[in-house]
Structure 1
Amino acid sequence: MIIVTGGAGFIGSNLVKALNEQGRNDIIIVDDLTDGRKTRNLTNLDYFDYIDCIDFDRAIAEGNFDCGPIDVVFHNGACSDTMEYNGRYIMKNNYEGSRNLFHYCQNHRIPFIYASSASTYGYGHKGFRESLECEEALNPYAYPKLFMDRYVRKFENKLVSQVVGLRYFNVYGPNECHKDKMASLVRQMFYKNQETGEITLFEGTDGYEDGGQTRDFIYVKDVVNVNLFFWEHPELSGIFNCGTGQSHTFNKFMQAVIDYSGKGKIKYIPFPEVLKGKYQSFTEADTTKLLSVGYDRGFTKMEDAVAEYCELLANNEGYIRR
């Protein structure tokens, strides 16, 4: 059996789809379907069972979860709203459950591959290497991700089964339709451009020109490939960046949407006061550690990935096809 927490969400559903393509349907999806829109992500997936995340977390915490032998746990379930400021809520959701699941997997010798975040690098002024001196948390969303990584490190010399934390950079692609303002700019601006012929980006900040802030944008298919690579190499454990190692400006990222659409222009709007002091103007994964352990599956060229995703947005409402 394979467990995918957050399996009805963005990255999780793409991961389940890839597992299906490998012939695996003995999958238990764990998620929260309070937002019923996520059921659409499940439509084209083949899986064994679904468990509500509250029931799952309780069973894990109490030590009485049992579904038979488990090959791997892919843990992507979490609150993904980077603007959530209820610290108690986000620690409950993004740290305590992850910690309990980590110990469950260790106790049962199950490989545990979990989602961390590039937000653990704060402004990134000290670089984007998987090391303590580069890390800081600028907001309540980043803190439990960072705390989880540091907690896992305390056991790195005592592990009895694989544990991998993947620091996702800016992921985009199909099945993020339910994420609203947390969805990628490709999804948000594709439809805005179709309706108005206009894409809006922030004016310059932190010394960057208008639309010149840069991010390491990574296609969700590549994120899935990194997850599967580590599952196929159970001898590998640790915290690893999950980014392409190449940053692009928002201007270039959105130009790819315009190029696909054959129309549109970029308009710049004032940088929001609420984001000042909490915004990463530059991210770029240091992929040295990832490549050093043998990852050789490459990354999709940004322009090609955006075009592929825009095709789904235009013809399939942004959902993966069966």
Structure 2
Amino acid sequence: MIVVTGGAGFIGSNIIATLNTMGYSDILVVDNLKHGIKYLNLVDLNITDFLDKWDFFNRIVYKNIFRKIDVVFHEGACSVTNEWNGRYMMKNNYQFSKNLLHFCVKYRIPFIYASSAAIYGNGSKYFIEEPQHERPLNIYGYSKYLFDQYVRVILPKVRSQICGLRYFNVYGPRESHKSTMASIIYHIYKQMISNQDIQLFIGSENFQRDFIHVSDIVSINLFCWRNNISGIFNCGTGIAESFQNVAEIILKNFNRSIDTIRFIPFSKNMSRKHYQTFTKANLNKLKETGYNKPFKTIKEGIPLYTTWLNQNKDILFD
């Protein structure tokens, strides 16, 4: 059996979809469906069972052991970067992850988990997987940072696989439920089909992120599992693109004028001092594992994604 936490979410559901194409269907999805619209990410997937996140957590804590588990893909977390309830964030992202990690270590189950480029903050331009380059800007980033630190301490002492993957700006199918936390590509597409002006924050030409298509993230997860890779690795393309450039690519693909871009003040719900304005993955460690599959550029990935959005817009948009 394969366990995917956050299996109804963005990356988790994409991992399951690819596992299905590889012939895997004995899959347990662990998630919190309080936001019920996430069910849409599961309806076309072949899974064996579903458990609420906290029911699963209790089984781990009270040693109600499952039958043989081949691997745990731990994708579940609160990824809202402007969430400031630290008690909730640390319980959900840190303590839950620690308990699941210890469960996997005890039974020597491969444990592959989602870390985040939010760990780097704006404190370094190098984005290298070393503590001197890590300075998170918000409690979300800190929850991921602290768990990575915990993994670093125990990794040399264990015999089973532990692999942390630091996702940069992931975009692609099955992210619509993320609302404000969905990628800028999703939001621009939504504005465009609603015949609205494309809204970007003032200074967006200087906001540069490393955008990676979700299919590449899935590929890295499966490579690390099948090759028994342990450690903490960046997952990006190594290329930083401006938000304005992303918007112009989408508009060009739909033969829309870039004159529809309108620049607005920075959101009142966000603080510039807690906002990453630049990310660019250093991929040296990932390449050292032997991963050499080329990444989709945004000029390749955006049309793939917008085509999928076109095919599913009657379901995704009112």
Q: TM-score, normalised by structure 2?
A: 0.95
Which residue number corresponds to residue 207 of structure 1?
Answer: none
Q: Which runs of 4+ in 1 moved over 3 A?
A: none
Q: CA RMSD in A?
A: 1.5
- Does the 8 Å CA contact 1:175/1:318 hold for their aligned counterparts? no
Q: Aligned partners of 2:54, 2:123: CA distance in 1, in Å?
A: 34
How many aligned positions are there? 313
Q: Aligned partners of 2:28, 2:315: CA distance in 1, in Å?
A: 21
Map 1:171-190 to 2 at 5 A.
171-190=170-189
Q: Decide whether aligned partners of structure 1 residues 318 and 174 sit closer, same or farther in structure 2, where only a CA change above 3 A counts.
A: farther
Q: Which amino acid aligns with 2:212?
A: I
Q: Decide whether aligned partners of structure 1 residues 143 and 319 sit closer, same or farther in structure 2, where only a CA change above 3 A counts.
A: farther
How far off its partner does 1:290 sit?
Answer: 0.3
Q: Secondary structure at the match of 1:97?
A: helix
Which residue number corresponds to residue 205 of structure 2?
Answer: 211
Which residue number corresponds to residue 192 of structure 2?
Answer: 193
Which residue number corresponds to residue 74 of structure 1?
Answer: 73
Cα deviations across residues 216-258 of structure 1 (Å, max 9, x unaligned)? 0000000000000101111x21110011111111111111211
Match of 1:309 among 280, 305, 308: 305
How far off its partner does 1:127 sit?
Answer: 1.9
Q: Which amino acid aligns with 2:131?
A: L
How far off its partner does 1:174 sit?
Answer: 0.6
Q: Does 1:232 align with 2:226?
A: yes
Q: Aligned partners of 1:186, 1:157: CA distance in 2, in Å?
A: 40
How far off its partner does 1:162 sit?
Answer: 0.5
Q: Secondary structure at the match of 2:34?
A: coil
Mean alpha-carbon deviation: is it higher for 4-13 or for 191-200? 191-200
Map 1:48-67 to 2 at 5 A.
48-66=48-66
- Does the 8 Å CA contact 1:41/1:319 hold for their aligned counterparts? no
Mean alpha-carbon deviation: is it higher for 294-303 or for 11-20? 294-303
Map 1:95-110 to 2 at 5 A.
95-110=94-109
Q: How much identity, in percent, do the aligned residues show?
A: 46
Q: Aligned partners of 2:80, 2:30: CA distance in 1, in Å?
A: 19
How far off its partner does 1:276 sit?
Answer: 1.7
Which residue number corresponds to residue 10 of structure 1?
Answer: 10
- Does the 8 Å CA contact 2:104/2:111 hold for their aligned counterparts? yes
Q: Secondary structure at the match of 1:152?
A: helix
How far off its partner does 1:272 sit?
Answer: 3.1
* Structure 1: 5+ residue stretches without partners: 205-209
Q: Does 1:294 align with 2:293?
A: no
Q: Decide whether aligned partners of structure 1 residues 228 and 319 sit closer, same or farther in structure 2, where only a CA change above 3 A counts.
A: farther
* Structure 2: 5+ residue stretches without partners: none
Q: Secondary structure at the match of 1:161?
A: coil
Which residue number corresponds to residue 111 of structure 2?
Answer: 112
Match of 1:257 among 250, 259, 278: 250
Q: Aligned partners of 1:232, 1:25: CA distance in 2, in Å?
A: 17
- Does the 8 Å CA contact 2:124/2:134 hold for their aligned counterparts? no
Q: Which amino acid aligns with 1:251?
A: Q
Q: Which amino acid aligns with 1:37?
A: I
